[in-house]
Structure 1
Amino acid sequence: MKSVRSNDETSIMDAALMVLMSIVKTQNVSWFFRSNVSIQNALSTLGEEALYDEICLSVYGILSEVLSDEQLKRLKIANNMGVFFFNMLEKAWHHPLKKYRQIQIEYLLQGSVNLSKHDFIQQETANMNKIPLFIEMSDQYPIVFDIIWALSFNHNIQQQLRSHPSFIHKLSQLAKESDDEQMRKITHGILWNLEITHQDRSIPQHTNHNTFDIMISYSHKEKVLCKQLYDELIKSGYRVWIDFDQMHGNVMDAMAQAIDRSEIIIICMSEQYRQSNFCRAEAHYAFQRQRRIVPVLMQKHYKPDGWLLFLIGQLLYVDFTKYEFVRAMEMLSKELKVTDVTNIGISSVPVAQAIIVKDPSTRDKLPPNILQWTESNVQDWLITHNLQQMSRLLANCDGQSLVYLNKHMKYGEPQQTLKSFYEDCIRHLGENLSLIELSRLQSLMDQQKRFVQSSLRTQGRKNRQ
C-alpha cells in the first residue's frame, strides 16, 4: 500500500478499519478478538507493514481497545507502539495546524485515552518521560486530563507528576473551581493517586447507623443488572450502599467513606469496569483497606485481565452471564455467608509468626499489617532475611508495593516478569539478577499465606470442639 490517500487499496482499508473501530467501541466483541489469534496476527502484520500512518494508527487503536495487556505486549508491534505513537503526537503538537500529516491531534489524543489504560504503555510513557508533553497540552485539550489520570496509576508516573508543583497547583484549583463536573471528578482522581494522605484516613467507628454490610462497585454501563442485584440484596436484609446517581462533589472522598463504612465490596466485573479510572481507584482502595472482596461477572465472555486480574487473584466469582439471575443470586448469597478464607491473603499475616526472624528487634518494629509497612520497614524485612540485592532493587517499595509485586509474580506472565526484574537489575544496580534471592523472596511471601490458611483451619477446629 502506498502512503497516499489516493491509492484505492489504502482508501478502502482505511474506511474498513474505521468501521471496525466503531464496531469494537459499541459492541461486545472484544472476546472474539481475544480468542482468535489469527485475527490478532493479521492486524499486527497490517500495522507493521502498512506505509500509511493512519492505517497503523487505526490498527493500534483497535488492538488496544480489544486485547488484554498481556496479549498486546506479546504482539511484535508492541515494542514500537509507544515510540510510533508519541512521535506522531509530538509532531502534531508542534505543528502550526496541530496535526501530523493528515491526522488531527484530537484523533491522536482520543487514541491515547485507550492506550493509556494499558500498564505497559504507562511504563513506556514513564521511560520516555512524556509527562511534560501531556502537561503542556493540557491547557489546550481537556481530554489530556483523562489520559493523565489513567497514567497516574503507575508509580513512576506519580513521581514524575509530583516533580511539577505548578501542575499540581493547577489540578487543585480545577478540582475546587471548575464549572465542569467531569473535570472536577478527573482532577480529584489524579490528586487522589498522587497523595498518600488517604492511606492514613481514620476509619469511622462502626455503628448500626453508619455501617453497611455491602458496597456494590460497578461501571454505570451495568446499571440495570446492578439495580436488580441491589434490590435482591435489600430483600435479603442486607444494608447495601450503591451509587445510582453518580456521586457529586469530591467523588474520591465520597467513595472512600462508602468503602470505610462497608464490610464487603462486591466488584461487578466487566470490560468497562476494567477500563474505568474511577473503578480502578475504588477497587484499589477497597483492597488497601482490606475489605472482603467478592467478585461477580457482569459481561458475557469477559475474562478479568490487567490490574483487575491482579487484584482479585484466585478468588472465585459468581458468573451472572452463565446462570439465570435467581440461580446466580443463590450462589452469591452462599458466598456472602461463608467465612472468608481465600481473600485474607498476605496482608493479614502476623509477620512475627509467619516467618523465621533472625533479628528480634526488627521483628518488633514491623507493623502486623504488611500494607502499613513503610519503605524503611520493607528494607528492614529484606535485610533481616539476607536479601541484599532485593533490598537495593526494591529501595522505594513500601508494603503495598510489595503486595502488588507478589501478585504480579504469581499471576503475571512469568517470562515478562523475569525479564523486567533482569532489566531493572542491570539498569539500576549494574549487576545480574540473583535468581536465588528472587526465589527466596517469593518463597517468604508464600510462607506467610500458607501460615494464615493453616492458622484458620486450626482455629476452625478449636471452635468446633
Structure 2
Amino acid sequence: MHINLFFNIPGNQLSDMSGNIQSLAPKLLTRQTSEEEQEKVVKQGHVSEYSESSIATSTGTESNTFDGAKRESDGVTEGIRDKDLFENAHCSNDSECEVNSQAKDVRCEVVSSEPTEGDNKIDGLRGGTSSSREDGQGQHQPDEEEAENADEKSEENQLEETILIKIQSWLVELRGMETFSTDRALEILKGIANHHWQHPQFRGSIASAVDRVQGADILLTVLKSLSKEGLFKRNNVWYPANYCYNVVWNLSDESSELAASLGDCGIIGLCATNVAHKPYIDHLEKKNVMFLIKASLSILHNLSKIPANRRQFRENDLVQKLLPFTTTDHKYLKALCMLILANIVDEDQESLLDEKGTIEFLIKLLKEAQESEDRRAQGLSCTELANGLGRLAVNDTNKLKIQSANGLPPFINMLNSEDILEQEAATEALWSLSFDPSICKLLSTNEKALSSLRHLQSCGNKAVELSAKGTMWMLRQVRKSIEDEGSVDSKKRGRPKSSRQSSLRRIHVMISYQWSSQKMVLKIRDVLVAAGYIVWVDVDRMCGSTLQAMAEAVEKAAAVIICMSEGYKMSPNCRTEAEYAYQLQKWIIPLMMDMYYEPDGWLGLILGAKYYMDFSGIVPFEESVQKLTRELDSSKGSFETPDSVFVEENVEPDITKSCELSCQASPPGTMNWRAEDVQSWLMEHNLEKYQDSFQECTGKLLHQMKALRQEAPEFFFRSLKEDLGISNFFDILRFTEALQDIR
C-alpha cells in the first residue's frame, strides 16, 4: 500500500514540480555538491542505533523522558495548544487526510497500487533501464512508427536516468546536513515524494536508486532528528517530517531490497515507538497524530512482508505493542494491525490471532472489498487482504480455519479478476492452502477453480503462471496419493514414490533455496562443481516450466540440499520442492542460511532432528563448505556416472549442471546455427557492433558460452570484456539476457 502526496504551500519558495525534468534541475537542486563533497558525505557511514530515548513526544521539547505521568499529561496539553498543527487538522475519511495550517494545505491521498517485485531494477549510481531494445523477428528496416517508438523509448530512458541521478544527489546532500527543519531539506523531500507519484513507471527504479546510496539510513536520520525537535512544535519541523514519512511509506512498498534495508537500519524501532506512545494513542482524534500513526503502521505493514525483517519485529516486541489496535474502533488501524500480525506472529503465537478473530475479520473485509466499486474495504485492497490471508495459510492449522470461515470462495473469485495483482495474490494463497489434503479435494471438485487455474497456467504473467501450475501440481499429487493409498504395494513401501523414480539414475546434487539466498547458493554451487559434483540449481525462480524441471531434478537427485530460512518456509514453491524430495525419500542435507531462524512448522516436521551446516555467517564459509563436501563424499557411491546425463530423453544438456529456464524460448534449431545465424541474432538484440568478435561463433559455441556462464561466471564475464570487447555495462546486460533465452 502506498500514498500520493500533494503539498501546496502558498507564499513559500518551494519549486513547482510539474513539467519537463530538465527544467527541474535549477529549481530543485539550487546547490549542487561537488564530486569531492559527495564522496566525503557518502563515506560518513551509517547512522547510530535507534533507541526509544531518541524520539521526542508530541510537545517537541528537548526532554527525552518517557516514563513520567506528568511528562505525558502535560506534554500532550502543551502540544494541543499548538493550534497551527495539532488542533486545526481535519480528516475526511480513513483513506484521505487533509491538514490545514495557517492557510497552508497538505493532502495525503491513498491510492490502490501494488508493486511487482523486481520491476525496473537498475545497477550502478546512474541507474537507467537495462535495455531499450524491443525483440523482433528477422531483419528489416524500421518504419516510421517503429522509429518514433524507439525515440520515445530513448527519451523515457533518459528521463528516468535524470530523475534517478537527481534523487541520489539529493540524498547525498541530505546526508551532509546537520539539521533538517530547513526549507532546503523540505524542498528535497518534497522533490523525492513528487517524483514518486508523478512518474509511476519509475517507482521501482526510484526505490532501488534510494537503496543504493544507503537511503534507508539517511531517511531514518532525518526522522530521528526531526523527532528530537518535536514533530508538532513548529511547521518547519512537521512539514519535512510529513514528507519524509510519506517517502518511506511509499518507497518501502516498491522494493523488497529497500524494505530490507529499512528494517536493518532501525526504522522498525522508530515506528514501534510511535504506535506505542500513549500521548499519541490518547489523541488519535487529532488528525496529524492520526496521520503519524497511520504512516507508522503502514510502514510496519510494508516491512513485515519481508521475512528477513521478522527479527527486528521480535526485538521491538511489536506483537504486544500492536495488540491494543485489534480492539480499536478505528477500523482502518485495526485492519492494518491484523495484516501486520498475520506477517510476524510465530507458530507458538497463533493463539493470539484466534483470540482476536483475525482470520474471520480479514475474510470479512476481503468479501466486502470484492463487492465495492474500488475493490477496497477500510482502505485496504483485495490484493493486500489476500496476501495477508495467504501468509496466514503457511501455517497448517490456519488452513483449516480459513476453510471453516468460508475463505475459499473469495480466492476463487479473484482468479477471474481483471487485476493481475489480485490474480497473483489469489493463486499464491491457493497454492499454500492446497497443501492441506481436505482443501485439495475441495478444489479438485470445484470446476470454477479448475477452469480458472488451467487458464492462468498460460496467462503470460510469470508469477501467476507459476502459482497456478503449483496449485494444479498439488491437486495431481493428492490424487496420486489417494490412488497409491489404495494399492497394496504402497502400503508396503511407506511414503509413495513416483512411478518414474526407480528407472531414473541419480546423477546430481539438487539445491533447493529461496531467492534471497541465491548469492550464497551460487557460491556453494561453484565449490561443489569444482569438487567434481554435478549440481542442479534453478537460477530463474519464476519460469513457467520450473515445476516440471523441478520434478525431474528431484527424481534424479542423489542428494537434495535444502537451504533453510524464514523466506524458505514462507514460500509455497520451496515447500513443493522440499515435500516432493521427502515423499521420494531423498537424502536431504539441510543448510542454515538465516542465523535468526529456527526451523518450525512444516519445515521443522520435514527436517526433524537432522544436523544442519551453518551458512548464515556465524561459521566461516570455508569451514562450512568443507563439512558439506565431506558429507557428500561420505556417500559418493550413491551417485551414478555422469555418462548418463545426455542420454535421457527430453532432458536438456544444461539442466543437469544448473537450470536457467526462460519463458521466452528462441526459435528451434539454435544448436545448428551457422556463423551467419549468430550474426543475425546479434543484430536482433542491438549488438551488431560486436559482430566482428563473433565471426567464427556458431550455435553450439553459444550454448557452450551459456553453460560457461553458470559453471565459471567470473571467467565468463572477464572473457566478455577482454576477449570479445563487450565492456559497456548495458551491452553486457543485453548479451547475457539474449544468451539466457537461447534453447
Pairwise same-fold verdict (TM > 0.5): yes
2:310 matched residue in structure 1 = 30
Match of 1:145 among 405, 415, 427: 427
Q: Relative to structure 1, is the Cα distance of residues 11 and 77 closer, same or farther in structure 2, using a 3 angstrom cutoff?
A: farther
2:472 paired with 1:194: no
Distance 1:247 1:266 in 2: 20
Higher deviation after alignment, 276-285 or 19-28:
19-28
Distance 1:76 1:137 in 2: 25
On the 8 A contact 1:68/1:306 being kept in 2, the answer is: no
Match of 1:59 among 325, 337, 352: 337
TM alignment of 1:110-129, pairs within 5 A: 110-129=387-406
Q: Relative to structure 1, is the Cα distance of residues 162 and 205 closer, same or farther in structure 2, using a 3 angstrom cutoff?
A: closer
On the 8 A contact 2:342/2:389 being kept in 1, the answer is: no
Question: Residue by residue, what CA displacement relative to the aligned partner does 1:339-386 show, whole Å, maximum 9, x if unpaired?
Answer: 69xxxxxxxxxxxxxxxxxxxxxxxxxxxxxxxxxxxxxxxxxxxxxx
Q: Relative to structure 1, is the Cα distance of residues 249 and 8 closer, same or farther in structure 2, using a 3 angstrom cutoff?
A: closer
Match of 2:570 among 268, 272, 275: 275
Q: Secondary structure at the match of 1:182?
A: helix
1:446 matched residue in structure 2 = none
The one-letter amino acid paired with 1:114 is: R
Shift of 1:21: 2.7
Shift of 1:294: 0.6
1:392 matched residue in structure 2 = none
1:323 matched residue in structure 2 = 619
On the 8 A contact 1:69/1:120 being kept in 2, the answer is: no
1:183 matched residue in structure 2 = 464
2:503 paired with 1:205: yes
2:533 matched residue in structure 1 = 238
On the 8 A contact 1:33/1:67 being kept in 2, the answer is: no
Q: Relative to structure 1, is the Cα distance of residues 68 and 243 closer, same or farther in structure 2, using a 3 angstrom cutoff?
A: same
1:378 matched residue in structure 2 = none
On the 8 A contact 1:268/1:297 being kept in 2, the answer is: yes
The one-letter amino acid paired with 2:472 is: L
Shift of 1:204: 5.7
2:456 paired with 1:160: no
Extract unaligned runs of 5+ from structure 1.
Answer: 341-465
1:429 matched residue in structure 2 = none
Distance 2:356 2:303 in 1: 26
On the 8 A contact 1:4/1:52 being kept in 2, the answer is: no
The one-letter amino acid paired with 1:190 is: T
On the 8 A contact 2:555/2:584 being kept in 1, the answer is: yes
Distance 2:631 2:355 in 1: 40
Number of equivalent positions: 333
The one-letter amino acid paired with 2:338 is: Y
TM alignment of 1:6-17, pairs within 5 A: 7-17=287-297
The one-letter amino acid paired with 1:293 is: I
Q: Secondary structure at the match of 2:540?
A: coil
Match of 1:99 among 363, 376, 388: 376
On the 8 A contact 1:126/1:156 being kept in 2, the answer is: no
1:332 matched residue in structure 2 = 628
Q: Relative to structure 1, is the Cα distance of residues 81 and 284 closer, same or farther in structure 2, using a 3 angstrom cutoff?
A: same
The one-letter amino acid paired with 1:74 is: S
TM-score by length of structure 2 reads 0.42
Distance 1:170 1:77 in 2: 32
Extract unaligned runs of 5+ from structure 2.
Answer: 1-280, 482-497, 637-743
Distance 2:450 2:285 in 1: 42
Question: Residue by residue, what CA displacement relative to the aligned partner does 1:411-437 show, whole Å, maximum 9, x if unpaired?
Answer: xxxxxxxxxxxxxxxxxxxxxxxxxxx
Question: Residue by residue, what CA displacement relative to the aligned partner does 1:192-221 show, whole Å, maximum 9, x if unpaired?
Answer: 1111366644226344xxx32311001121
Match of 1:174 among 444, 456, 459: 456
On the 8 A contact 2:554/2:560 being kept in 1, the answer is: yes
Distance 1:137 1:206 in 2: 40
On the 8 A contact 1:5/1:11 being kept in 2, the answer is: no
Shift of 1:252: 1.8
Question: Residue by residue, what CA displacement relative to the aligned partner does 1:313-348 show, whole Å, maximum 9, x if unpaired?
Answer: 1111011121110011122223334469xxxxxxxx
On the 8 A contact 2:463/2:542 being kept in 1, the answer is: no
2:69 paired with 1:69: no
Q: Secondary structure at the match of 1:301?
A: coil
Shift of 1:92: 1.8
Shift of 1:51: 1.9
Question: Residue by residue, what CA displacement relative to the aligned partner does 1:114-135 show, whole Å, maximum 9, x if unpaired?
Answer: 3332323212111122212221
Q: Relative to structure 1, is the Cα distance of residues 219 and 5 closer, same or farther in structure 2, using a 3 angstrom cutoff?
A: farther
2:689 matched residue in structure 1 = none
Q: Secondary structure at the match of 1:28?
A: helix
Q: Relative to structure 1, is the Cα distance of residues 22 and 181 closer, same or farther in structure 2, using a 3 angstrom cutoff?
A: closer
2:92 matched residue in structure 1 = none
2:318 paired with 1:42: no
Higher deviation after alignment, 150-159 or 282-291:
150-159
Distance 1:158 1:26 in 2: 28
Distance 1:61 1:251 in 2: 30
On the 8 A contact 2:326/2:356 being kept in 1, the answer is: no
Q: Relative to structure 1, is the Cα distance of residues 61 and 335 closer, same or farther in structure 2, using a 3 angstrom cutoff?
A: farther
Shift of 1:84: 1.1
On the 8 A contact 2:339/2:385 being kept in 1, the answer is: no
Q: Relative to structure 1, is the Cα distance of residues 310 and 5 closer, same or farther in structure 2, using a 3 angstrom cutoff?
A: farther
TM alignment of 1:221-370, pairs within 5 A: 221-246=516-541, 248-321=543-616, 322-338=618-634
On the 8 A contact 2:510/2:559 being kept in 1, the answer is: yes
Question: Residue by residue, what CA displacement relative to the aligned partner does 1:30-85 show, whole Å, maximum 9, x if unpaired?
Answer: 1243466x4422222x23332212222222222222232232x1326555111111
- The answer to which structure, 1 or 2, has the higher relative contact order (CA under 8 A, 6+ apart) is 2
Shift of 1:245: 3.1
TM alignment of 1:79-94, pairs within 5 A: 80-94=357-371
Q: Secondary structure at the match of 2:585?
A: coil
Distance 2:542 2:301 in 1: 31
Distance 1:5 1:194 in 2: 50
Q: Relative to structure 1, is the Cα distance of residues 314 and 198 closer, same or farther in structure 2, using a 3 angstrom cutoff?
A: same
Larger radius of gyration: 2
More helix by share: 1
Question: Residue by residue, what CA displacement relative to the aligned partner does 1:295-318 show, whole Å, maximum 9, x if unpaired?
Answer: 001123122122111111111101
